[in-house]
Amino acid sequence: MPQVNITVDINENIYLRDPLETDLGKRIIEHAILLLDEIGFEDLNFKKLAHHMKSTEASLYRYFENKYMLLAYLVAWYWDIMHFTLLMDIRNIKEPKKKLIRSVETLVNSLNESTTPSYIDQNKLHNIVVENAAKVYHTKKVDTLNKEGFYINYKKIVKTLSEIIREIDCDFKYPRALATNIIEQSLDSEYYLDHLPSLTDTQSRSTDSKNETVKMITYMLDRIL
């Protein structure tokens, strides 16, 4: 499948220098994804990342203030590309209910290879978002970071989903809350299935696990809307 040249829109407050502007910056993103997926956010530090990519800690600090900012960048990048992918997937669908179901399928099935640069392992990035996205929002500095626009990429996809929900039922009182829950459920169901299976009703992990998650969310939406 041919690559699609997409320009991501990441708030400049998240980084010190845009990593996508240089080869070194792209290597930071590439190796950060690989290492985060391998050892997790808690054990990550810039010393380990520098060793992993055979560079120096100083070079990393030219791009990101700390590992939280690096994670925030990766999560923002993911949601920006996911929003683009979702818009492309629903662009020819007229019926609102079908549009919402297709959106759920897109969220659950992760990114499209054609929208992901070769230096980014999309499956590992997806795993990182599943495991760590909440850490970006659940922080004592959330109000300050929110004012600085850290979460705009996530908010865009919530807005799009809430507008589809309003198309289905203009009198529905909680479209943004439902949109947020759809997104969180698309991530949480996979995480619970892998690590806390007693917290979900989807089946054990298999090639059909994503389909099971789509069915579960669709069932809930049919009962709500």
pLDDT in tens, 92-125: 999 999 999 999 999 998 776 667 788 899 889 9
188 within a domain of the structure (yes/no):
yes
C-alpha 202/C-alpha 143 separation (Å) is: 35
Question: Is residue 61 scored above 60 in pLDDT?
Answer: yes
Domain that holds residue 138: 72-224
Query: The tokens of 86 are what?
Result: 């979702």
53 within a domain of the structure (yes/no):
no
17 within a domain of the structure (yes/no):
no
C-alpha 65/C-alpha 14 separation (Å) is: 9
Beta strands in 22-129 (DSSP E): none
Domains identified in the chain, total number: 1
pTM listed for this prediction: 0.92
45 within a domain of the structure (yes/no):
no
The CATH number of residue 183's host domain is 1.10.357.10
C-alpha 129/C-alpha 117 separation (Å) is: 17
CB under 8 Å to 192, separation ≥6 — which residues? 199, 200
Query: The tokens of 140 are what?
Result: 């004592």
Sign of CA dihedral 217, 37, 111, 154: positive
19 within a domain of the structure (yes/no):
no
185 within a domain of the structure (yes/no):
yes
